[in-house]
Amino acid sequence: MPVFQLIGVDADDTLWHNERLYADAQARLAELLAEYHSPEWVNDRLYQTEMRNLEHFGYGIKAFALSMIETAIQLTEGRISGRELQSLIDLAREMLAADVELLEHVGNTVAHLAGRYPLMVITKGDLRDQELKVARSGLAPHFRHVEILSEKSRESYSILLERHGVPPDRFLMVGNSLRSDILPVLELGARAAYIPHGLTWTHESAEPPPVGRAGYYELEHFGQLPALLERLESEKAE
């Protein structure tokens, strides 16, 4: 019997590029407001607006678009034009329609792992947007399940594993966010492989667990997953 009964995989910036869409959008917002404020100040205020709106708007591109619009209005004291605000809505539509570009090694590795383990996408954000990205990614046939959560917390992972009948010690989560993919999973007593991504939203960053913490692994890229799993399976066999 393999050690792992289920492998959970985060989607945005673990399977495919995502944060760069937000970074590009932020750059366009900063450009729009260039005559009013510095890019640093715009980014800072946008982040504060996003955090204030998180409780009601949640994650995802629609929430981000509303926060961009609100920031633009506030930072210009309402002087921003309708046409400029329309460009922010158009930007949100472009983001939602953007091509899904897989990260390096992902295509082959996912196909390889799917032959050995049931795989589950575990992501958060807009329901429809995430479903469309899974469909457009071409990876859907390799994933047994797709779970879209409103928040990735110790509790939501616990409910998810219980629903699928998977004990935490037989679950491995893979992702690029310490806050969402790694720390809550380790707290549960499951294992987690952290694959850092160059761009990570401030809200998702956290202190990494100490090196050598039980169940915590850090990889450089997605292609290193099969070797990690082989090692963990053979350790158990010894």
- List contacts with a second copy (CB under 8 A): 53, 56-59, 62-63, 65-66, 69-70, 72-74, 76-83, 85-86, 89, 92-93, 96-97, 126-129, 131, 148-151
Cβ closer to a second copy: 69 or 161?
69
Q: How far is the CB of 99 from a second copy (least distance, A)?
A: 14
Are the C-beta atoms of residues 188 and 167 closer than 8 Å to each other? no
Cβ closer to a second copy: 66 or 183?
66
Cβ closer to a second copy: 93 or 236?
93
Q: How far is the CB of 139 from a second copy (least distance, A)?
A: 18
Cβ closer to a second copy: 130 or 176?
130
CA 28 to chain centre: 22
Q: How far is the CB of 193 from a second copy (least distance, A)?
A: 26
Cβ closer to a second copy: 23 or 127?
127
The answer for 23, left when phi > 0, alpha when psi is -120 to 50, beta otherwise, is: alpha
Q: How far is the CB of 39 from a second copy (least distance, A)?
A: 20
Question: Angle at the Cα of 102 (from 98 to 108), degrees rounded to 5?
Answer: 155
Q: How far is the CB of 32 from a second copy (least distance, A)?
A: 13
Are the C-beta atoms of residues 114 and 143 closer than 8 Å to each other? yes
Residue 166 CA to residue 74 CA, distance in Å, equals 47
Report which DSSP code applies to 179: I
Are the C-beta atoms of residues 92 and 64 closer than 8 Å to each other? yes
